[in-house]
Amino acid sequence: MRIEKLLMETALIPSLSGYEQKMAQYMKKKFEENDLPVKIDVFGNCIAKVEGKNPSAPSVMVFGHMDQLGFMVRYIEPDGFIRLERVGGIPEKVLPALDVQIQNRKGEMIDGVIGVKSHHATPAEEKYIVEKYTSLFVDVGAANREQVEKMGITIGCPVVYTPKFKKLAGTVVSGTSLDNRIACAIVMELAYRFREHKPENTVYLVGTVQEEFNLRGAMVAARTTKPDVAICIDIALEGKTPDMKNMNDVAMGDGPVLSLYNFHGRGTLNGTIPHPDMVRIFEQAAQKKGINLQRLALIGSLTDMAYLQFEGTGVRGVDIGVPCRYTHTPVETCDIKDLESTTQLIFEAINNLNSLQL
């Protein structure tokens, strides 16, 4: 299945916020395979243009962020252990004994592990304590700071969970950075579909940067593309695991998710209420294609759409999610069926945009 291959390959590409170059080059190659004009802008966004058949039809930007959360090297101890600074929302309770990779100054990936006190030496009062990331360290096997520096590792080098991807039962897969390589895979899959069926509308297919840092890249891309409509693809928190019951009814395998409300609620006080026209168009597209459209209203998360909707004189925006478990951890999990149905839904919705009164 093409979209599964796209997801697997992108999940294995390290792409910390601010260091998305490898992902951008991968997406650029896939867009070029579909004969699309494509550029990587100054900020790092990868932007491809699908010329529509009707110049007067509303233009649309479909996008997902290429970056992932992780760390940067903050300090190198004299004895060679490496201290970290976080980039994005890191769940500290999963970090001890984790495999990581550090991208050195040459772009090479250096393996390391986050150290954890040996169990035999851990007193009872420490066994249930979650350590702050500032107290953790990475061990790359070096004996001193000089050896670390000879490996090309310096202050500010990006650090990510060691990339991985594996299949579970049926069409379920698990891996690193599925948030938001899920969206990148869908955006690239749309390029293949538009090659076979040219849209009425001009469509910009975009991989954005620095979402996990502070929702930055999508705004810059919108200033270039100036879309009438924007469709943000991201993950949607699945609510069917034992620890998420009563949170929501979103289920993996049950199709795409229409976000009716999201709000960060901490730190960044922003979020998105979708434009009513976009809600209508997606509901109609789902009904026409017989796609089950799940609905979600949630405090605790937000997407690039939160700021993009303010661009120009305002953009008709909507967040479309793919159900995902264990977000921001090294074992994010989703169902390939949902990527397929989400792609189909977005493709159909774009074909219905001519009903908009601009």
Best CA proximity match to 224, nearest among 64, 22, 38? 38
CA-CA-CA-CA torsion sign (28, 231, 297, 269): positive
Separation of alpha carbons 91 and 129, rounded Å: 14
With b meaning 16 or more CB within 10 Å and e meaning fewer, what string describes 256-295?
bbbbeebbbeeeeebbbbbbebbbebbeebbeeeebebbe
Separation of alpha carbons 302 and 309, rounded Å: 13
Best CA proximity match to 210, nearest among 20, 7, 3? 20
Radius of gyration of the chain (CA): 21
User: Mind telling me the catalytic residues?
Assistant: 211
State the amino acid at position 40 in one-letter form: I
The tokens describing 211, both together, are 């979402």
Separation of alpha carbons 163 and 165, rounded Å: 7
State the amino acid at position 261 in one-letter form: Y
CB of 74 closer than 8 Å to CB of 111: no
Strand partners, 324: 237
The tokens describing 303, both together, are 């997407």
CB of 25 closer than 8 Å to CB of 202: no
Angle at which helices 2-11 and 21-33 cross, to 10°: 160
End-to-end CA distance of the chain: 38
The string of DSSP codes covering 54-89 is -TTSPPEEEEEE--B-EEEEEEE-TTS-EEEEEES-
CB of 334 closer than 8 Å to CB of 182: yes
